Structure 1
């Protein structure tokens, strides 16, 4: 009887040991499965990140301009790292003329001023525009070592109206209208001199018989440009001498004027 009890006890212990071993094996297997699942998720995530990174890299190789137009300059070189603008694109429907004005005129020019200009390729044909910007900072001189360099202030002019015949990158000669005087008479700036009282005057050729006499006529200057000045005190058709300072002593002299045929 004692032997049977002892055998039963040993069997119970063996069963418990076997149950613990099975539980331990199940726990180990579960941990292995969980580790495999986590590894698979990590691999999928890494793969997704790699794909996204490749998509970003591919997209980064594409350069898109913010507008459609004409490529006027290419700064990038194949096989070299990008530095600065890759390409310069010009919009042929919105042309801008870049000019400079001197220090005195920079204070007269305003945004919105009317502009007329001509180009060498279009001859005497006049185009129109308006002032977009007037810089308050002079541009650096082309030759920093040059002496007596006069400051030049950048002005941007938007071309308005017809643009047919204009060449992108070409040159032009512009005239900016800073003021208007209706019905005024204008003379060259070098036609101005002074009378004995220091007042503005011009030299006019007055007809006398078949000749002309040089007279000093006082005038009142008005709007002044680089080349001309409006005046009051003259009549349409008056013959005015240029370079008045040179002929100042000719007042009262009789001169002969030859009319060009």
Structure 2
């Protein structure tokens, strides 16, 4: 099987007269977490929408799990799951009912067992029979990610999954995401939180002004940052310093 789970080549997209994507290219290997970094309006969500077949590109190509997103959208949707910026749970239903409903929609043979297993995996068993509307933000996000795992998708898109969460809830989500990748799931993560990318990503791509202007592991990106002259020890740059240096000085790349 091809080692590349997601392949994007020269992707372009405009909204009316505004060109959002100006030739975006990158790859994500199977079982890898790639963090797509960028400021508001950089085009991160547009990339996710194209890859999840919710939006058509103007030009360029994208393949997910070996299937072209434009030519084989049904095959792509069978392989993926998408978790957006806001938890897409039914707040009237209980946590268990949410999971059972999605399992039935995916035509799984044992929806109750699927629900029980995911509730246990995400630490929601005690709250399983409470309405999701009573959950904390972190619990709703965990339930949302659990819903995205029903049916064992091979590839998960997480579009700013910790937006609005408190630090403790963010750490819970980080733990869940790490476990997904350790289990072989491919994760494409978009985030504005640079510490999140540092914690989670195997590789990082920086999207700025409609293009990927830098990419690689954290250590590789550090090589793009000029070392500070120090007398005794060399301070390692943070990802925030690297990001700001790259975005603010593209000509140096």
TM-score, normalising length from structure 1? 0.21
Query: Greater helix percent: which structure?
Result: 2
More contact order relative to length (CA 8 Å, sep ≥ 6): 2
Query: Greater strand percent: which structure?
Result: 1
Question: Highest Rg: 1 or 2?
Answer: 1
